[in-house]
Amino acid sequence: MSAARNERSGRQPLSRVLIVDDEADIRELIDLTLSRMGLAAESAGSVAEARAALAAGHFDLCLTDMRLPDGDGLEIVRHILECSPRTPVAVITAFGSAENAVAALKAGAFDYLAKPVGLDQLRALVKSALRLPGEAPVGEAEVLLLGHSPAMQQVRETIGKLARSQAPVYVSGESGSGKELAARQIHALGMRSAAAFVPVNCGAIPENLMESEFFGYRKGAFTGADSDREGFFQAADGGTLFLDEVADLPLAMQVKLLRAIQEKKVRKVGSVVEEPVDVRIICATHKNLRECVDKGLFRQDLYYRLNVIELHMPSLRERPEDIPELVAMLLRRQLGEGAPALCQEALALLQRYSFPGNVRELENILERAVALASGERIEAGDLRLDPAGEAGELLPPPERGSETLDAYLNRLEREAIMEALLHCEGNRTAAARALGVSFRSLRYRLERLGIE
């Protein structure tokens, strides 16, 4: 209908949208909304009509219902992926049909809408879809993840596909393997790159502050709420919310997060109304999320909502051929272009090392080696690794020698704190717990030892 209006007025539509739904009133509602956005729409009431329309011309977006008289929306999703893979497809599902939405996203759908269709959500989805780039832009995003091993080439290929979707992504992998870097690259290569990427460490937020931190609050909602405040969801509106260590969320917060993801709305603490938010969710954890579900520590319904598509980040020991490139980059980042090089023996030792802390541990080892190196090159002994490289463990600290007792104890304390921070991914609360001291005590020790 709106295509005919544009032809009569002589205007060229910005984009063409195919609407597939067997209910005439829904087709009319969507058509009218798209027309007011300056878009042209063509309607189809069945899978057969949709196939005919797609064969007759190009569309920049397809909106399809899941239930159709002669099939379902998944057939259209698969057909478009085969015939026109750069055309985004969004599905319209019945209220509460979470399984259908997840199935569509896994099949390759760009996004979904739930009936009754909210016009604000429809407009946001259409705007996002029509900003979708045809090809991944060349720029800084492409070099966030270094390495040319087969494992990293597979990761980059998968990220390129994920960047064209709105599906929630679960990034799995060991601590220090680059999960946040992968999430940032998905964001940077997608159509949300101009909006905010908001990383949140779920394990670092006190439980009593979680709801207000995630959803914001109204002035006067509680003691100390002197003004309105936005939460993580509002800060990431139009962009990406990265939930790191999502397995650490308490069950009560998991319920609230599930509702926000399903409804695409949030309610500030102290407010009586919900506000729509347009946020893509990417989550990560070094724990086995499936095991957490089996143990009753993580909600199964939330797990299926977050784990629509899984991206696994390989450990550093699975890609030793990438170590020389990573070493060169890390040394340049620490010292600039005049950074010292590693001798071949040192490089070979690193490639045999098991790296339980992955890239983050490699960075820590190089920082120590730079400090210990006495010449223009970093020698194998400067790394302080087991020369056999089999156990993959650091050598025990050297004897006290000529150090004063205070200097010796400070060094041991520094190494223990750095190791705890490394294994807790920089989370000071978790590191204090692992060390058996209070957070206040750890903060005092960090200041005293000059640890940033």
C-alpha angle 360-364-369 in degrees, rounded to nearest 5? 145
The yes-or-no verdict on residue 141 having pLDDT over 80 is no
Q: Which of 205-209, 273-277, 385-389 has the lowest mean pLDDT?
A: 385-389
Write the pLDDT tens digit of every residue in 67-100: 899 988 899 999 998 888 888 899 988 755 667 7
Rounded CA separation 283/290 (Å): 14
Half-sphere exposure of 277 (CA within 13 A, CB side): 31
Is 397-452 the same fold as 143-314? no
Fold of 2-130: Rossmann fold (3.40.50)
Please, which residues bridge with residue 276 across strands? 265
Q: What value does the mean pLDDT take over residues 288-304?
A: 93
Radius of gyration, alpha carbons of the chain = 26
CATH number belonging to domain 143-314: 3.40.50.300
C-alpha angle 237-239-241 in degrees, rounded to nearest 5? 85
Task: Specify the CATH class of 317-395 in words.
Answer: mainly alpha
Token representation of residue 157: 């290929």
Write the pLDDT tens digit of every residue in 420-438: 887 777 788 888 877 777 7
Q: In the chain, where are the structural domains located?
A: 2-130, 143-314, 317-395, 397-452
Question: Residue 386: what pLDDT?
Answer: 57
Across 12-153, the runs of DSSP E, i.e. the strands, are 16-20, 40-44, 61-65, 67-68, 71-72, 89-93, 111-114
pTM (2 decimals)?
Answer: 0.69
Half-sphere exposure of 363 (CA within 13 A, CB side): 16
Rounded CA separation 138/136 (Å): 7
Token representation of residue 311: 């991206």
What architecture is domain 397-452? Orthogonal Bundle (1.10)
